[in-house]
Structure 1
């Protein structure tokens, strides 16, 4: 049973602009049993919810703010992306025109410059709701704003404290956020978020098969290439700044159905929406091998559950604790290409 989640919501109309001041991000004090939120164990407070890794020292994995998710551009126009090295977890999703955007999750540490920040999509509801995250975005289409509001998702548009334009870059690829400032807007006692995935030990991971390299194909125009190294997985066509790449120990590929969000972008391209409910094939990559399985998600605010096997032999697939990149690869028009 997952711990009870405290979902932070905000009543907004149209776009949401919040105000506040800057500040740092200090670790929590060690919790006593009386301080633990209902349904949350002391053992859970000793691991980070977005990585499953142990908390260092005598701190706990309970901040005085929610998880923050930054929507980031993922095209060559965004290069170099900043801040990914401090992310706990990243989800890559299809957007219009066959390109992708990133939802970068920050909880353990907050960078003072992350981006380029771009707009939200309806797909983001199912991505952020399981941990009650607040979203940092440049904005969204009115249809998306209405759905985010209806879902109770807190978000920060351009103009919120912490956001600024880098005049050395071209718009719209020059909006960045100082998360240490934005976080002040949602400070207050909150329960530890749910674990984003079922975390476990690499020793318990099924053997799977060798997979030294693989490619997540989102469309004819975009493929994300991965290669296994002794230190984890390297994204060979990343747009991240040198030395600021995401430190992926795991890559989780979920094959998802993609529908039409019901509107077009300014260029007339239909906006896709990935369906993050139901079930589909999954592939977990760790330490140069791939384990195949099935993902399921009962509702947009429910966690992703992973299993291996079938029928009576079906077992929960736990993701080794560590930094994980999740690829939402379309069932139709997408592909997963695996090398030995």
Structure 2
């Protein structure tokens, strides 16, 4: 009975999540934000990066699944939003799929997270009106339907706001920028020694759950959401080469939805505990991001870097 009650609460929260002030601009009528200037920007290491990653806010309540184009992302970030639900941010550098979606609204936390990239392009459905000036001043290129209506379309078979899709080529006419633009701070390489054999790992939010199960055949962590195997609209099972459970401070922000639920702010600058899952093992690590303009490093207790496996990375922000 308790499980059924919790499921009912999560379902109700998912249905009301489409009616927040954050998504009031889903129809493309939000005020136009002033795009940040484009061009090359030096990274903290001094490397000149001329390409811009594409970051897309992805809907992740049950009516929005299965998503499209999520398996092509280099990095997928999972964060907690209003009502204890989850939302995704997919970052594309290596390749762009033909379609991505459903696209949903931006949050204040996204602006801090995206500062690690050089003038990223942010695709989102809209935002709370009080947040739009912050987005306009951020060092990124905002591309909602207000700025690029031709890049978006409403797909059939789903009710709004869970049916807004993006043609990424319309925002990135020069194509994917390449891995040099992926200035996350992640280090890839051979598996480290040690670790703990791990069959699966779950991260729970108040009204959402992610589970990653190791597949020896695929050499990947198979993704499940809210107890259901996660696939794309094309039927491909979502699978990550590396999963990071990053323990962070999640605090209230100055924003609320129409039901009065506070929008959590996920702090991604600082340091804390993390777990890195790769090759069927879990490795305890410390994450560090001293400045918003830099990427995040993950180190062992002795200070040596924790190498990630080549392939898609999922970073799930868990409450410290």
Q: 2:91 pairs with 105, 125, 140, which one?
A: 105
Q: 2:187 pairs with 199, 202, 218, which one?
A: 199
| Aligned-pair CA distance for 1:188 | 12
TM-score by length of 1: 0.74
5 Å matches for 1:1-340? 14-16=31-33, 39-40=46-47, 65-132=51-118, 133-159=120-146, 160=148, 161-184=150-173, 192-203=180-191, 205-219=192-206, 221-230=207-216, 231=218, 232-237=220-225, 238=230, 240-241=232-233, 243-309=235-301, 313-331=302-320
Kindly indicate whether the alpha-carbon contact (under 8 Å) linking 2:96 and 2:169 is maintained by their aligned counterparts in 1.
Answer: yes
Q: Deviations over 1:166-187 (max 9, x none)?
A: 1331000010000011213x88
Q: Deviations over 1:69-106 (max 9, x none)?
A: 11001110102211112111100011101011110011
The change in CA–CA distance for 1:85 and 1:187 in structure 2 (over 3 A counts) is: closer
| Aligned-pair CA distance for 1:65 | 4.2
The change in CA–CA distance for 1:142 and 1:299 in structure 2 (over 3 A counts) is: farther
| Aligned-pair CA distance for 1:300 | 2.0
Kindly indicate whether the alpha-carbon contact (under 8 Å) linking 1:71 and 1:117 is maintained by their aligned counterparts in 2.
Answer: yes
TM-score by length of 2: 0.78
Alpha-carbon separation, structure 2, partners of 1:90 and 1:190: 16
Q: Deviations over 1:251-290 (max 9, x none)?
A: 0110010111212112221111101111111000001100
RMSD of aligned alpha carbons:
2.6
Alpha-carbon separation, structure 1, partners of 2:34 and 2:68: 23
The change in CA–CA distance for 1:164 and 1:39 in structure 2 (over 3 A counts) is: same
SS of aligned partner of 1:130: coil
SS of aligned partner of 1:319: coil
**Unmatched runs of 5 consecutive residues or more in structure 1:** 1-12, 19-37, 42-61, 332-340
**Unmatched runs of 5 consecutive residues or more in structure 2:** 1-29, 36-44
Kindly indicate whether the alpha-carbon contact (under 8 Å) linking 1:87 and 1:246 is maintained by their aligned counterparts in 2.
Answer: no
